[in-house]
Chain A
Amino acid sequence: ETGVTQTPRHLVMGMTNKKSLKCEQHLGHNAMYWYKQSAKKPLELMFVYSLEERVENNSVPSRFSPECPNSSHLFLHLHTLQPEDSALYLCASSQDLGPSGVFGNRETQYFGPGTRLLVL
């Protein structure tokens, strides 16, 4: 149990649908992340939130819209997606963004199980 949960675990949606992915962390962390994992590609960072403020948006299309209402919850709102958006979407959290120096591991990221998304 990593302390990071994601719902739903699986999602199938049409290109005109609107859906949301939810992530919740029970670790008291201050930073949360959304990643996309596509087949045969490295894991890609999408968004970073620190203390509920977005600090990074890695050139992600506007059809993906994140929301962080508090430090424990992170959402990814989806609308008018494309088939190439089908992937495993992973949420992660860390104590801080870091870096935390030689002896600190406050930036170690803990991942949820992911949401497997299929866009038809």
Chain B
Amino acid sequence: KQEVTQIPAALSVPEGENLVLNCSFTDSAIYNLQWFRQDPGKGLTSLLLIQSSQREQTSGRLNASLDKSSGRSTLYIAASQPGDSATYLCAVKAYGGSQGNLIFGKGTKLSVKP
């Protein structure tokens, strides 16, 4: 059974710092991995999607990497800002799973202090 783990559960950093969020998954047979952002009491916003054959994706100050063989992904945020404060969720779409079924981690709650 595919399981997704995100460490740390919470992270507090000063503004301007570069930071890395970690995601690991137990079964490397995945189609893709996606990072989402969730603001308090709100829905999810897709940040980056990495297909299984890709190693990284970049969008602005965000860079996500994927090492499928080791079951790991990282989300790198450069020059963090208070507006980056949110919960970041990682999800994988696994082979053999139900159609459209994303397996989510519990998230990392990020707080960027001014």
Query: CA of A116 to CA of B40 in the docked complex: distance in angstroms?
Result: 12
> CB distance A110 to B41 under 8 Å?
no
Please, which residue of chain B has its CB at the minimum distance from the CB of A58? Answer: B98
- The interface size of chain A toward B, counting residues with CB under 8 Å, comes to 35
Which of B's residues lie within 8 Å of A, judged by CB? 4, 31-32, 34, 36, 41-46, 49, 51, 53-54, 89, 91, 93, 98-106
30 chain-A/chain-B pairs, Cβ below 8 angstroms: A2-B43, A4-B43, A31-B100, A43-B89, A43-B102, A45-B102, A48-B101, A55-B99, A56-B99, A56-B101, A58-B98, A58-B101, A90-B43, A92-B43, A92-B44, A97-B100, A99-B32, A99-B93, A101-B51, A107-B32, A108-B34, A109-B44, A109-B102, A111-B36, A111-B43, A111-B44, A112-B43, A113-B42, A113-B43, A114-B42
Main secondary structure of the interface of B (DSSP, over half): strand
Nearest CB in chain A: distance from B28 CB, A: 15
Which of A's residues lie within 8 Å of B, judged by CB? 2, 4, 6, 31, 33, 40-43, 45, 48, 50, 55-56, 58, 88, 90, 92, 94, 97-99, 101-103, 105, 107-114, 116
